[in-house]
Structure 1
Amino acid sequence: MRQQPEQQAPPVQRLRIRYAKRGRLRFTSHRDFSRAFERAVFRARVPMAYSSGFNPHPRISYAGAAPTGSASEAEYLEIALAAVVDPADVHAQLEEALPPGLDVLEVVESAGGSLADLLEASRWWADVAAQPTEAATAVDAFLAAGSVTVGRMTKKGLRQLDCRVPVVSLVAVPAPEGSAAGARLELVLRHAVPAVRPDDVLSGLAQVSAVALGPAPLLTRVAQGPLDEATGEVRDPLHARA
C-alpha cells in the first residue's frame, strides 16, 4: 500500500502583500515572478505554511496579475504562515530578498475573505505618442460608441472582445513634464469575464478613430481594488472590508 503523504498543519496567520513591477522588471512574466517570490520567502526565512500532499508547496495565492510588459504599482498576493509574525518584519525581509524593480510596498494582516473578490477594477495610465488634443478626439469617439469589438490572439485562437463595456472612465491629459510621451490616457477598467486589458482598449481607440496613438505605449497600473460605483474610484483592497 502506498504511504499516505504527511498532512500539514493549517495556517495560523495570513498576510496580504502589495508589490510593484518597475523598470525592466515589468517584462517579468507571472511565472517568473512566482519563482522569484518563492525563492525570496525561502531566503528571508519566512515561516510559510505548506500544502499537504506528496509535493508540498508554500501557500501563496496570487490575484489579478498585470500583463507581461506592463508596469504596476498595485500587484497583490496573500501568503499563509505557520507562525505568527510582525508584518513589518516580513516587509523588510522580502524587500531585501527581492531584486530591485520587484518592490514590496505594503504588508498587512489579512482581514479574511477572498482577496481576489476585492479586486473588482483597475486604474491605469497609458502614455502615448499622440498629442493631448488628438488623444482626446480618439477618446471621445470611443466613449460615444455603444460597443467596440477587437480581436486578441489567445492560446485557443483569435477571440473577439467588446472592449467598450468594461471601461468605467477614460480621459486624455497632457503627459507629465519631462516625459517622451505626448499624452497620458487615464483609464478605469472594470474586471470582467472575459478579461479586457488596457491594450485591448488602445486597439479599440485605434479602430474608432483615425488618430495615431504611436507605437509601444507605456502601460502602468496605479491602483487595483474594490470599485466605488458612485464615484468610479478604485479603492485600496488592503484596507477594505472583505
Structure 2
Amino acid sequence: MAFSQGFTPHPKISYASAAPTGVGSEAEYLEIGLQAPVDPAALRIALDAALSPGLDVLDAVVAKEGGLADRIDASHWRIEMPEIEPGAAEKAVEAFLAADEVLVERMTKQGKRSFDARKAVASFTVAEESDAPSGAAAAPCAIIDLVVRQVTPAVRPDDVMSGLRVVAGLEPPVPPRVTRLAQGSLTPQGEIVDPLDADREDAPIGGR
C-alpha cells in the first residue's frame, strides 16, 4: 500500500460518500493507492480475508481518469419501519412529495441547522406488500424505497424521516432499519450507475 509523504505518513485511502453511523450498507466504495501493480482479483481476496465477518469486499478494479467522488451523485436506500402501516406511510410520502419545501433541523458542529430535505429526493415510494420482510405479516411494517441526490448540506435518510414527521406527523415508535442498496451516478431514467462500471476490465492495479 502507498503512503503519503511527510513526518506522519498515512495510507492513501479515501472513502466516497460514506454511510452515516448506525445504518447498514451494501454499497460502500473506497480508493486506495498502491506501491506496485497488483492483480485486482488477488487484491479483493486479500482485503476480504483481512476484514471482520459481515464486511465483504465484492470487487476491485483499476481506477482510470477521474476520482471516485466524481462518479457518485445519488444513493438508493431501503427504510423498514416496524409498527407503521404501509397505508399511513404512503399518505406521509405523498404529503412529502407534494410539498415545495420540507424544512428539517439537524445538530451540527456549528450548532442546529435548518435546511430543505425535499429538493434532494429524486424518488420516494412505499414498497408493495410482496416486498415486505419475512414475518411482517404478524405486525405492520412499512418499507420505503428512497433515492436521494447528493447536495450541500447532505440529506440523509434520517433527515427524510424527520421530513415525514414535519409534513404528516409520522413518527415510528421504534427506530427504522436503514440500508443503503446502491450509490453512483443517477441517470435521467432514475437508475443508479455503479461507479466502477467504467473501470471493469482485466488489467493489473497500478500504483497511484
Per the normalisation by structure 1, the TM-score is: 0.76
- Shift of residue 49, structure 1, vs aligned partner: 1.3
Q: Indicate the RMSD between aligned Cα atoms, in angstroms.
A: 1.4
Partner of 2:206: none
Partner of 1:196: 155
SS of 1:208's equivalent in the other structure is helix
Percent of aligned positions with the same letter in both sequences?
Answer: 53
For 1:22-33, what aligned pairs fall within 5 Å after superposition? none
Q: 1:236 aligns with which of 173, 194, 198?
A: 194
Unaligned runs of at least 5 residues, structure 1:
1-47
1:57 aligns with 2:10: yes
Q: 2:133 aligns with which of 176, 189, 208?
A: 176
Residue deviations 1:107-149 (CA, integer Å, cap 9, x gap): 1111221101111000000001211111101000000000000
Residues 1:54 and 1:85: Cα distance change in structure 2 (over 3 Å):
same
Q: 1:223 aligns with which of 149, 158, 182?
A: 182
Residues 1:181 and 1:82: Cα distance change in structure 2 (over 3 Å):
farther
CA contact (8 A) 2:164 2:171 kept: no
Residues 1:86 and 1:144: Cα distance change in structure 2 (over 3 Å):
same
Partner of 2:94: 140
CA contact (8 A) 1:151 1:161 kept: yes
1:131 aligns with 2:85: yes
Q: 2:146 aligns with which of 187, 190, 210?
A: 187
1:155 aligns with 2:112: no
CA contact (8 A) 2:124 2:145 kept: yes
CA contact (8 A) 1:206 1:213 kept: no
For residues 170 and 127 of structure 1, the distance between their equivalents in structure 2, rounded to whole angstroms, comes to: 13
Partner of 2:28: 75
Residues 1:53 and 1:181: Cα distance change in structure 2 (over 3 Å):
farther
Higher RCO by CA contacts (8 Å cutoff, separation 6 or greater): 2
Unaligned runs of at least 5 residues, structure 2:
200-208
- Shift of residue 181, structure 1, vs aligned partner: 6.0
Q: How many pairs are equivalent?
A: 193
Partner of 1:28: none
